[in-house]
Chains A and B, each alone.
Chain A
Amino acid sequence: MRKRFWVGGILLYSAALTASVLIWLSASEPLIASDVNRLMSGRVHGIVSVKTTADIAAALDKAKKKNLKIAISGARHSQGGHSFYDGAIILDMTKYNQILQLDPVNKIIRVQSGATWGDIQEHIHPHGLSIRVMQSSNIFTIGGSISANVHGRDLHEGLLIDTIESFRLMISDGRIIQVSRTENAEWFPLVIGGYGLFGVVLDADIRLTDDQTYVERTIPLSVEQFPDYFIEHVKDNPDVRLTVARLSTAPSSFLQEMYLMNYEKTALPLPTNSPALEEERAVELTKFLFNLSRKFDWGKNVTWSLQKRLFASETGTIVSRNIAMRPEIQFLEYRDVQRTDILQEYFVPLDRFVPFVVGLGELVLENRLNLVNITVRYVPKNEEALLSYAREESFAIVLLFNHKRSPREISHIERATQEMVDLALQHGGTYYLTYQLFPTDAQLNAAYPKAISFFVLKKKLDPDLLFMNEFYARYAR
């Protein structure tokens, strides 16, 4: 009996351990909807994993019968409750992700809204095609990206809205309408950059470009040199395609050192046997370095000097556009019960970059914020979407803060954010709506003068406010 008893115990425990780990890995926080960073969350009525268009219609029906709201979620990387609402039915669109059609001659792809940029890349890479505009990472869904009207790193492309030909939208009465610049045109600038408040985007026709060969070039600069260098050598240079700059958050060179990374066109042909798209490398190492930067000032110094050396060594590397547009993001995954990453993005006119950065530095130090990472990209003027953040040609500055999640600390960074938004506004800039709901009503209206008409049109086109999220609830009057 003895031996059998102990062996049985060990087997039982191993089984329980395995089961627990498996459940833990597959758990998706049922009925608590939140953003990936768990900054905001809400108890929702239910989460519908959408697989077919009929699933969406059924959910809309149910919501209307039970007098519930509908919120739509994709990769859930927005940070202002754009993808959920208290008590609502959440449509999880991530399984609604078919590639419907590719027209390689006219370079147009039709995809369902839950597909990610990564899905598209895998599909079009063998055809020698590439995405025109997407975020700096490919994990986001098409629907979410359309709702936030994202921008990317390609200097000569505009915002995502420029690459959208048309899309199908299921609206509050259950009808499906085709929306383009010529058909149901009034919906076009509302849905794009409209945070899911006008209906469910079913699928979209997106314009593509050719895959190209680029050579990487890294240029170290000071903050003062950067805008002039950029305007003279980069902005109108047809050879520079993708570009992104990084600003130091290391105490040893805080907001002084930068480097610019350009991907420039070369005459070299694409590798003939177009290699498979690479997966992320060294995720754990980067994750570790990033965690050091979150935690310690010396970690920021070490990471910055490693980064400089790494990127300098990559100068001259030949990559295809598709490879260059698959940068790492997994390392940003962060699960700490007490702290979270807070992303923000500010847009300032090119000539206001230096004073903005100086002011930003003062605010960060004054408020003792833990600023971990900064990237700078270029955004051309584009006012097609009603809630457009690019009312002027700007630098887009993305800040990543690591901050405590306690209510007191959150209200601390809320106040600090309002100061940073004021700073951007003073310099004729704006901020990105995809992040926290910290800015005041007055700040929203100053940055987005058309916000009032946006909310008026929302009530007109969705009178029962079927499509709802925390962003609307916070700001709509």
Chain B
Amino acid sequence: MTPKTLISPSVKWMILSLSTMTFGAGFVFPFYLIFIKEMSGNFTEFGIAFGLFTLFFTYLNRLFNSSSERYGRKAFLLAGTWGTAFLFLLFPIVSSVWQIYVLQIALGTFGAMQKTSKAFIADMTEGNQRGELIGRYHFGGSLFSGAAVIVGGVLIDFFTLDLIFYLGSFVVFFSGLMLIPVKESRVTS
């Protein structure tokens, strides 16, 4: 076990940011599937929309992770987080399937950018810290998103699905702000 004092504030803030991001996105995610189904007239269009996301996410994941070596991981992480926040703002106002396709591609792209977070954590922590650290902080985030999904469902029933996108967007944007105190560094071990 690693004593807590060894965790730098940068790491703390970054993992907090990631947990908040998980929370915000986790809040939106299950309902966003219903939204896509609603917008697309049939399961074919739903499949295309969802497949586009996965394809771009997977392909760009590789690209971004390798280029983050050169340009810095924080830039990618922030771009991915804020990009997602901006995209969520578009969901309530789109009206046709092709717009959904475009959004899905963009969402896959920004999602892939965020995945530099893993390498980022690895950079900033020592081998024996990582597992416990990530586990500890993500525990809180995931617990909250579980509760948030339940609350989200009730909110949608009483208001609209669109509200969830706005709430989610705000939380995700806020998680980006939590990256302010994060300084990029590499622990070499």
What residues make up the interface of A, taking CB atoms closer than 8 Å to B?
A: 6, 9-10, 13, 16-17, 19-21, 23-24, 27, 29-30, 32, 288, 291, 295, 335-338
**If A21-B166, A29-B95 touch, does A13 touch B173 (CB 8 Å cutoff)?**
yes
Give every chain A residue within 8 A of B170 (Cβ-Cβ).
Answer: 17
1/0 per residue B137-166: CB within 8 Å of A?
Answer: 000000000000000000011111110001
Q: Is the CB of B95 within 8 A of A24?
A: no
Nearest CB in chain A: distance from B44 CB, A = 16
B85 at the interface (CB under 8 A from A): yes
Indicate if the CB atoms of A17 and B95 lie closer than 8 Å.
Answer: no
Whether A335 pairs with B160 at a CB distance below 8 angstroms is: yes
B34: chain A residues within 8 A (beta carbon): 337-338
Minimum C-beta distance from A476 to chain B (A): 27
Would you call A13 and B86 a contact (CB within 8 A)? Answer: yes
> In the complex the two chains form, what is the Cα distance from A24 to B164 in whole Å?
13
B contact residues around A291 at 8 Å (CB): 157-158
Q: Which residues of B contact A (CB under 8 A)?
A: 34-35, 38, 82, 85-86, 89-90, 92-93, 95, 156-162, 166, 169-170, 173, 176-177, 180
15 intermolecular pairs with C-beta atoms under 8 Å apart: A6-B177, A9-B176, A16-B86, A16-B89, A17-B166, A17-B169, A17-B170, A19-B89, A20-B90, A21-B166, A23-B93, A24-B92, A337-B34, A337-B161, A338-B34
B95, A27: Cβ atoms closer than 8 Å: yes
Q: Kindly list chain B residues whose C-beta atoms are within 8 Å of the C-beta of A10.
A: 177
B157 partner residues in chain A, CB cutoff 8 A: 291, 295, 336
Q: Are B93 and A288 in contact, with the CB atoms below 8 A?
A: no
Q: With a CB–CB cut-off of 8 A, which chain A residues contact B89?
A: 16-17, 19-20
Interchain nearest-CB distance for A408 vs B (Å): 15
Known: A13-B85, A29-B95, A295-B157. Is A24-B177 also a contact (CB below 8 A)?
no
Residues of A within 8 A of B93 (CB): 20, 23-24, 27
- Cβ–Cβ < 8 Å partners of A335 in chain B: 159-160
The smallest C-beta distance from A46 to any residue of chain B, in angstroms, reads 15
Further 10 A-B residue pairs, CB within 8 A, beyond A295-B157, A336-B156: A9-B177, A10-B177, A17-B166, A20-B90, A20-B92, A21-B166, A291-B158, A336-B160, A337-B34, A338-B34
Q: In the assembled complex, how far is the CB of residue A154 from the closest CB belonging to chain B, in whole angstroms?
A: 35
B41 to chain A, nearest CB (A): 11
- What residue of chain A has the Cβ atom nearest to residue B35's Cβ? A337
Determine the distance from Cα of A288 to Cα of B166 in the docked complex, in whole angstroms. Answer: 21
Whole-angstrom distance between the alpha carbons of A103 and B93 in the complex? 46
Chain B residues contacting A338 (CB-CB under 8 Å) are 34
What's the minimum C-beta distance from B135 to chain A, rounded to whole angstroms?
30
Q: CB-nearest residue of chain A relative to B176? A: A9
Distance from A18 Cβ to chain B, minimum over Cβ atoms (Å): 10
A32: chain B residues at CB < 8 Å are: 95
B92: chain A residues at CB < 8 Å are 20, 24
- In contact, A30 and B86 (Cβ under 8 angstroms): no
A30 touches B95 (CB 8 A): yes
Contacts of A9 in B (CB 8 A): 82, 176-177
B162 closest partner in A (C-beta): A24
CB contacts (< 8 Å) of A6 on chain B: these are 177, 180
Take A16-B86, A21-B166 as given contacts and tell me if A288 and B158 are in contact as well, using a CB distance cutoff of 8 Å: yes
- In the assembled complex, the CB of B18 is this many whole angstroms from the nearest CB of chain A, namely 18
Could you tell me the distance between the alpha carbons of A9 and B79 in the complex, rounded to whole angstroms? 11
With a cutoff of 8 Å between Cβ atoms, the chain B residues found around residue A295 in the complex are 157
Residues in B neighbouring A29, C-beta threshold 8 A: 95
On whether the beta carbons of A13 and B90 are closer than 8 Å, the reply is no
Chain B contacts for A13, CB-based, 8 A: 82, 85-86, 173
Q: Which residue of B lies closest to A21 (CB)?
A: B166
- In the bound complex, what is the Cα–Cα distance between A20 and B88 (angstroms)? 10
Report Cα–Cα, A21/B167, bound state, in Å.
Answer: 12
Quote the shortest CB–CB distance from A240 to chain B (angstroms): 38
State in angstroms the CA–CA spacing of A30 and B95 once bound together: 8
- Give Cα A10–Cα B85 distance, bound, in whole angstroms: 12
Chain A residues, Cβ within 8 Å of B173? 13
- Indicate whether A337 sits within 8 Å of B86 (C-beta atoms), given known contacts A13-B173, A23-B93: no
- Assembly CA distance A13 to B78 (angstroms): 13
A24 vs chain B, min Cβ distance (A): 5
List of A residues within 8 angstroms of B156 by Cβ: 336-337
Q: In the assembled complex, how far is the CB of residue B184 from the closest CB belonging to chain A, in whole angstroms? A: 13
B67, chain A: closest CB distance, angstroms = 21
Closest to B161 in A: A337
A-B pairs, top 10 by smallest CB distance, nearest first, are A20-B89, A24-B92, A23-B93, A335-B160, A24-B93, A337-B38, A13-B173, A337-B161, A16-B89, A291-B158
A337 to B161, CA, bound (A): 7
Residues of B within 8 A of A27 (CB): 93, 95
Expressed in whole angstroms, the minimum distance between the Cβ of B83 and any Cβ of chain A is: 11
Nearest opposing residue in chain A for B89, CB measure: A20
Say how far B145's CB is from chain A's closest CB, in angstroms.
21
- A335–B159 CA distance with the chains assembled, in angstroms: 7
Residue from the set A13, A29, A335, A336 with the largest chain B CB neighbour count within 10 Å: A13
Measured between alpha carbons, how far is A477 from B93 in the docked complex, in Å? 40
- State the Cβ distance, A245 to closest chain B Cβ, in Å: 29
